[in-house]
Structure 1
Amino acid sequence: MRTRTQVGIIGAGPAGLLLQHLLAQQGVDSVLVENRSREYCEKRQRAGVLEHGSVELLKEIGLGDRMVREGLTHSGIYLQFDGERHHIDFPSLTGGRTLTVYAQTEVVKDLIAAGLAAGHQLHFEVSETAVRDIDTERPVLSFVDADGVAHEVECDAIAGCDGFHGVSRPAIPSLRVSERTYPFAWLGILATVPPSTDELIYAHSPHGFAMHSMRSTEVSRLYIQVDPDEKIEDWSDERIWEQLQLRLGHPGWTLSEGPITEKSITPMRSFVAEPMRHGRLFLAGDAAHIVPPTGAKGLNLAVADVKVLANALVRLLVEGKADLADAYSETCLTRVWRSTWFSWFMTSMLHRFPVESFASPAEAEFQERLQIAQLRQVVSSTAAATNLAENYAGWPLP
């Protein structure tokens, strides 16, 4: 079956779904394809912290009602190290910017519901997705739908929002790839227990990094640093809580425990592919870049990408002007690299690096002393705290 649309979108994560919504508001037609089921997309656990700009965009386009009702507004984070816990107050350092804890799964649910209600073309459980003719003004998106019907969709542009393992990025020739793999991973859990903190806690510990986050007033999200080759079956609930108590423990404060409903291990890596555009194929979100979750940047970078991309595609396809499309990659990569730096900064400052990563135990101790010095600088210097707060709370969207 051969059909036609203005923009073909690959991937029903936040990037693809938000792009389809932004384009529809400007009268641009699109077809979105996703190889997973709707249920899978709405259940996969990912990020949970929205920057001020991401929140304002979702409200502006009419998708913020449930987020406003159910999301948790935070005014900063806690940094814990060397037996101390310090609060970094974002509004006082950034001119009023705050954060909202609202899980990516909930953002995806909102976007899918809004898309289906508006009659957007959403195809789940597709297979054999491919792109071709991206060097022409009529690129083609092909796929087989859930009923086994083969489709060829002639497009004016294709947006690759299909994540790190998708088909879009490999279609771009002569990519420059920059990457770093960190010598640790995060073991993350969801626990049915009210959070023991009002705002996120980032803990530097001799036993390894730990973080206390949340998904709601009744569900806690917690992480501990583990070796990247750890097996999830080796981590019993008892062992996880023991390590969380050890790493997050603080005088006068109690970590409440509860039933663990989900656990997973996520490797830590940074990855940037450039350019983010070739011909009429544009990359957005994890298809082009990945950052470790320490800086809470992944979802927010995807939002920034598609805002830039939506504006560029509207200008190209509606107004017939290519200036924003030609500048798309450079515009996005400026923010991507700044976020990559900040994610590296937070990761390097807070995690315990394996002794074997260094030439000697003395070098390992030197690294740890530097981390404590950096943390102490952040909590004692207004300039250093402002730098962290401005980067974490996010910069204005392009």
Structure 2
Amino acid sequence: MRTQVAIIGGGPSGLLLAQLLHLRGVDAVVLERQTKAHVLGRIRAGVLEQGLVSLLAEAGCADRMRAEGFVHDGTLLSDGNDMFRIDFVALTGKPVMVYGQTEVTRDLYNARAESGAPTVFCAENVTIHDADTETPHVTYDADGQTRRIDCDFIAGCDGFHGVSRKTIPADKRQEFEKVYPFGWLGVLSETPPVNDELIYVNAPRGFALCSMRNENLSRYYVQCDASDDVKRWSDDTFWDELRLRLPPDQAAALVTGPSIEKSVVPLRSFVTEPMRWGRLFLCGDAAHIVPPTGAKGLNTAASDVYYLYHALVDFYESGSVGGIDGYSAKALARVWKAERFSWWFSSLLHRYPDQSGFDQKLQAAELSLLRSSEAAQRAMAENYVGLPY
């Protein structure tokens, strides 16, 4: 098989890149290790920056998001006793969109199917060859046969555990990592959200987050030990703990119910540099991971897609290699700003095991500054709604 771009990974970043390229006449084959049902079964965050909203519109995949998504003009922060609001629209002129990542992926798969462009599921033993030459190719196993795709470029959208990043020789890449000493216990329940906007909580018992997927599907989190066993958390234990961390009025308004999904998510930051090796380009989790506090995971992947999509289109439409040559530096410049924001927001809201009284006073002072200073609120809002591409 021959294509212009081989895309490894059938998650939202790989699908979005493929759809954008398709609409500009650039052929791409998408390889996915799992089944389509498995990919659509992943539960992920759903706060979308305006940059991603615009990319989905350009890809022709925004209709259902506009009909079913929730536009949020701000968010709420709490110290466990009371709350204050950060007004995104007043401070930046931009809202965010709350729309589940699973639904984004579903919309992109539907568009992919309508285009008739090839997607290969259950592609095993994917291997990248000759990425540092002008004639790269990819091999994979499917239906008991080894198959080959010759291509001009390879986009590695296959996540942290995928083959793409590991294809870059160890002496050609540098990795940076911070592991946080806590995790999030998350519960998905078919209950109405406790509030119309997201609530981020810094309480003496630890962080909590009240989020939602739609008007009758809520997502809640509480800070826990990174090695915690989800089996020790019954639904009642979780709801009781969440109430203890919320302001009293929100705790009283909380509607509880059986969990339909429950998991512990570890928190860490990770970046690999560079994000390009020859004709192989890394996108999203294949190159970087952020703690979920600032909802930047899918959004930083989207900015990678934006830069790579324009670079490839420039190459095919005008022969320009400027975007390709500058992709890694441009993507990393924005990634590190997202990493900084996610680290700052995590540090502001969580209780650390070795946190001293001095550290807690500084954290309280930071929250107080954010409550009272418009300049501090604007800086937070600009980062939350998304820095420009």
TM-score between both structures, scaled by the size of structure 1: 0.95
> Contact between 1:32 and 1:122, CA under 8 Å: does it hold in 2?
yes
Deviations along 1:98-119, one digit per CA (max 9) or x if unpaired, are: 0111000000000011001101
> Which amino acid in structure 2 is aligned with residue 203 of structure 1?
V
- The answer to whether the aligner puts 1:264 opposite 2:263 as a matched pair is yes
- Matched position secondary structure for 1:125: coil
Which residue is equivalent to 1:160?
156
* Offset of residue 249 of structure 1: 3.4
Q: Distance in 1 between matches of 2:367 and 2:130?
A: 51
Q: Which moved more, 1:305-314 or 1:317-326?
A: 317-326
Which residue is equivalent to 1:345?
344
> Which amino acid in structure 2 is aligned with residue 195 of structure 1?
P
Which residue is equivalent to 1:285?
284
Q: Distance in 1 between matches of 2:117 and 2:226?
A: 40
Which residue is equivalent to 2:174?
176
* Offset of residue 259 of structure 1: 1.6
Which residue is equivalent to 1:376?
368
- The answer to whether the aligner puts 1:249 opposite 2:247 as a matched pair is yes
* Offset of residue 82 of structure 1: 5.2
* Offset of residue 21 of structure 1: 0.4
> Which amino acid in structure 2 is aligned with residue 241 of structure 1?
W
Which residue is equivalent to 1:196?
194
> Contact between 1:315 and 1:321, CA under 8 Å: does it hold in 2?
yes
* Offset of residue 319 of structure 1: 2.4
Q: Distance in 2 between matches of 1:243 and 1:306?
A: 39
Deviations along 1:218-261, one digit per CA (max 9) or x if unpaired, are: 00000000001101111111111111111113237521111210
Which residue is equivalent to 1:394?
386
Q: Which moved more, 1:76-85 or 1:276-285?
A: 76-85
- Matched position secondary structure for 2:144: coil
> Contact between 1:270 and 1:340, CA under 8 Å: does it hold in 2?
yes
| Equivalent residues, number | 386
Which residue is equivalent to 2:206?
208
- Matched position secondary structure for 1:342: helix
Which residue is equivalent to 2:123?
126
> Which amino acid in structure 2 is aligned with residue 374 of structure 1?
E
> Which amino acid in structure 2 is aligned with residue 50 of structure 1?
L
- Matched position secondary structure for 1:181: strand
Which residue is equivalent to 2:147?
151
Q: Distance in 1 between matches of 2:372 and 2:291?
A: 26
* Offset of residue 59 of structure 1: 1.8
> Contact between 1:5 and 1:155, CA under 8 Å: does it hold in 2?
yes
- Matched position secondary structure for 2:243: helix
Which residue is equivalent to 2:60?
62
- Matched position secondary structure for 2:307: helix
> Contact between 2:78 and 2:247, CA under 8 Å: does it hold in 1?
no
- Matched position secondary structure for 1:215: strand
* Offset of residue 194 of structure 1: 0.5
* Offset of residue 172 of structure 1: 0.9
> Contact between 1:82 and 1:372, CA under 8 Å: does it hold in 2?
no
> Which amino acid in structure 1 is aligned with residue 288 of structure 2?
H
- Matched position secondary structure for 2:163: coil
Q: Which moved more, 1:255-264 or 1:207-216?
A: 255-264
Q: Distance in 1 between matches of 2:45 and 2:127?
A: 28
Report sequence identity in percent: 49
Gaps of 5+ in 1: 359-363
